[in-house]
Structure 1
Amino acid sequence: MSTRPAPSRITPPIEPRSLSHRDGDWQQAMRDAITDIDTLFAELSLPQAYKPAARRAAELFGLRVPRSYVRRMQPGAIDDPLLRQVLPLGAETESHPDFVADAVGDNASAAGDGLLHKYHGRALLVTTGACAVHCRYCFRRHFDYAGQHAGGSHTEAAMARIAADDSIAEVLLSGGDPLSLSNARLEAIGRRLDMIDHVQRLRLHTRTAIVLPERIDSGLIEWLAARRARCVVVVHVNHPNELSAATIDALAAMRKTGALLLNQAVLLADINDDVDTQVRLSEALFEAGVMPYYLHLLDRVRGTHHFEVAETDAVALMQTVSGRLPGYLVPKLAREGAGDEAKSVLGIRARPAAAAGRKNPEG
């Protein structure tokens, strides 16, 4: 568990403003994303000594980061908590025996049509391999998107499997990132799922809504509002500095459709593995109308070992966090393992009042 000072906060406004961008702006922003190491270093005035290793790591897993996300970073700060999530590092090229290509067992559930059915009552559609940002800790950085996605000719097979299995009450749209798809493509998927009566919930997992808030345009808002099934949007915020004013506006627009907004984060060494950052994150999410949901231990994917926080340290961290927040703002600390029937939620025991430093009788 890190003892370093938490980075400075970008304070979000209490009252979100209305969306100001035009439909289609997000597609241009996607095209304008930084994909070149030299450009990223120039934009942020980063120390040149890190550039050779960044180039080597980017050859294994390419760089992609929206410019609006880069503008939230502190120029010249190689340890900026947002930069650390997207900057290729030499550590990614190192081999560790416990870090593998498929840490969560996706391949064992794949049938070639993009539908992953690992957990009872829920099925996941890999809608696309595209994403607005390449997070360096991505658990699908080695996934075979070319052979395993629910696009093109695979769509019919995936929908037929969902329709034939009435145990599937919830469908998750994932990827990549489903919000990399056009509104027209999302509408085609949504229409098909609306026709399957036993699908009662539709869940979107997205990082794009956070790093590229332009994506939340009026067409997407109409899509969310029009669905028969109840919509749940699970966003991915790891650090309070990611909650820019534009992002908060986008979250507010989605919430007004009636969608439930949840957050799941990943616990990352030297980025958010300190008490103050976790407390500020939960409080900032709540201000933005998003409920903390999961805090994941790192999936042990090849090339990501430098992000790992030991389980004992993670439990100790969240035990302290639970003493500073009401229970509904404490995300569940979880780990996902290949072949498990569900995520493993790690229990956090309350400390005695004297050890916690204060009484918290309301929980």
Structure 2
Amino acid sequence: MPDGAPPRPAARAAPAAPPRRAGPARTLRDAAALVRAGLVAPEAEGAIARVAERYAIAVTPAVRALIAPADPADPIARQYVPHPEELATAPWEVSDPTADGPHSPVKGVVHRYPDRALLKPLLACPVYCRFCFRREVVGPEGGLLGEAELEAALDWFARTPAVREAILTGGDPLMLSPRRLGRILARLGAMAHIEVLRIHSRVPVADPERVTAALAEVLGGAGKPLFLCVHANHAREFSPAAGAALGRLAAAGVALLGQSVLLRGVNDSVEALEALFRAMLRHRVKPYYLHQLDRAPGTARFEVPVEEGRALLRALRGRVSGLAWPTYVQETPGGGGKVPLGPAFEAPAPGGG
């Protein structure tokens, strides 16, 4: 805890971290491995191998355990198992749909809003979502910032006092060792103008064994308010192991938010969204954002029209608590940032009906 910081209240006892897996299970990283696991038909191996030449593949043991191979419409498989259609780019799709590049003052930093900025310390993830808006740049090589590059990025934050919120994203920041992540958080937290820290991650649901007691301690002891945005798109992603990982984080005092992408074939029904948001709340995760799909290359099969998304949220109003209600947002072209999409509701007439 930094000198002068008020003592934090005693935290609830954290659930014990599970032992690291010692068995043969490994992350599936190529077409042949997916075939052996029964996730891809043998006759499709060549087509999937061609996808892998362009876009990274990773299916962790935790995710593999959630997939029903016999179900061709399995919503977990659809998110993570590659498809030949990924090599077909629609005319409206672009390689950098959020315009990170033009808003990057130094390597690893994206500054689109006056009061907040992204820090991307690495570009590796535990899994590679087939709809990812950074799919052209993420991969197992990691894109890890070197020491000089990280220092330059942190120096940019130090000399940019207008930035009050530092958002660690990537890639997945929780792929870093607790020691390295803790050092980054400590540097940012020591800057007087940084008031809030935020981390975006898939790790708690996609690779929950990474959420060790050491990692929870680092996040819970950041010294500044820290919010962890957990990316999940289907209720089944909240497995018992994911629940235990989120419990360790909550017990350490980490505030948990949920972000999801509206995806065709994954959560494009009232029932699926309701189950997802209820699952988040059961695990102390407040639904924060529901994203309209960013139009990255090869992702058209996931797109749900905005009007359909609005209708889904309109149908949820009154069906779930306001605690379960996220803001439905879309990135504006050219890096203009997120705008809320509604839906709009008619105000009741004065005096009631």
The question of 1:138 aligning with 2:128 is answered no
1:147 Cα deviation after fit: 11
- Are the aligned partners of 2:287 and 2:324 in contact in 1 as well (CA < 8 Å)? yes
Give the structure 1 partner of residue 203 of structure 2: 208
The question of 1:239 aligning with 2:241 is answered no
- Are the aligned partners of 1:112 and 1:149 in contact in 2 as well (CA < 8 Å)? no
- Are the aligned partners of 2:14 and 2:252 in contact in 1 as well (CA < 8 Å)? no
The question of 1:174 aligning with 2:144 is answered no
Over 3 Å counting, the alpha-carbon distance change for 1:300 and 1:112 in structure 2 is: same
Single out whichever of 278-287 and 28-37 deviates more from structure 2: 28-37
- Are the aligned partners of 1:113 and 1:148 in contact in 2 as well (CA < 8 Å)? no
Give the structure 1 partner of residue 78 of structure 2: 84
Give the structure 1 partner of residue 3 of structure 2: none
- Counting only pairs closer than 5 Å after superposition, residues 322-337 of structure 1 correspond to structure 2 as 322-337=317-332
The question of 1:105 aligning with 2:99 is answered yes
- Tell me the TM-score normalised to structure 1 length: 0.86
- Tell me the TM-score normalised to structure 2 length: 0.88
Aligned mates of 2:260, 2:159 — CA distance in 1: 33
Q: Deviations over 1:311-349 (max 9, x none)?
A: 111111111122411222111111012335431101113
1:21 corresponds, among 14, 18, 22, to: 18
Aligned mates of 2:208, 2:278 — CA distance in 1: 20
Q: Deviations over 1:215-264 (max 9, x none)?
A: 11011111012211111000001000100001011111111222210000
- Quick one: percent identity of the two aligned structures? 33
Q: Secondary structure at the match of 1:171?
A: strand
Q: Secondary structure at the match of 1:271?
A: coil
Structure 1 letter corresponding to 2:187: R
1:269 corresponds, among 249, 264, 283, to: 264
Give the structure 1 partner of residue 299 of structure 2: 304
Aligned mates of 2:28, 2:335 — CA distance in 1: 37
Structure 1 letter corresponding to 2:205: I
Structure 2 letter corresponding to 1:270: G
Over 3 Å counting, the alpha-carbon distance change for 1:29 and 1:102 in structure 2 is: farther
- Are the aligned partners of 2:166 and 2:194 in contact in 1 as well (CA < 8 Å)? yes
Over 3 Å counting, the alpha-carbon distance change for 1:323 and 1:136 in structure 2 is: same
Aligned mates of 2:116, 2:144 — CA distance in 1: 17
1:136 Cα deviation after fit: 0.6
Aligned mates of 1:158, 1:20 — CA distance in 2: 33
Pairwise CA RMSD of aligned residues?
2.5
Give the structure 2 partner of residue 193 of structure 1: 188
Over 3 Å counting, the alpha-carbon distance change for 1:147 and 1:135 in structure 2 is: closer
1:54 corresponds, among 48, 52, 69, to: 48
Gaps of 5+ in 1: 1-15, 354-360
Structure 2 letter corresponding to 1:184: R
Q: Secondary structure at the match of 2:37?
A: helix
Over 3 Å counting, the alpha-carbon distance change for 1:177 and 1:231 in structure 2 is: same
The question of 1:314 aligning with 2:302 is answered no
Paired residues in the alignment total: 336
Over 3 Å counting, the alpha-carbon distance change for 1:161 and 1:37 in structure 2 is: same
Over 3 Å counting, the alpha-carbon distance change for 1:280 and 1:351 in structure 2 is: farther
1:210 Cα deviation after fit: 1.1
Structure 1 letter corresponding to 2:288: Y
- Are the aligned partners of 2:203 and 2:211 in contact in 1 as well (CA < 8 Å)? no
- Are the aligned partners of 2:123 and 2:142 in contact in 1 as well (CA < 8 Å)? no
Over 3 Å counting, the alpha-carbon distance change for 1:247 and 1:35 in structure 2 is: same
Structure 2 letter corresponding to 1:330: W
Q: Secondary structure at the match of 1:123?
A: strand
- Are the aligned partners of 1:69 and 1:212 in contact in 2 as well (CA < 8 Å)? yes
Over 3 Å counting, the alpha-carbon distance change for 1:215 and 1:286 in structure 2 is: same
Gaps of 5+ in 2: 1-12
Over 3 Å counting, the alpha-carbon distance change for 1:286 and 1:118 in structure 2 is: same
Aligned mates of 1:351, 1:48 — CA distance in 2: 53
Aligned mates of 2:111, 2:149 — CA distance in 1: 15
Q: Secondary structure at the match of 1:63?
A: coil
Aligned mates of 1:71, 1:269 — CA distance in 2: 22
Aligned mates of 1:257, 1:134 — CA distance in 2: 28
Aligned mates of 1:30, 1:263 — CA distance in 2: 32
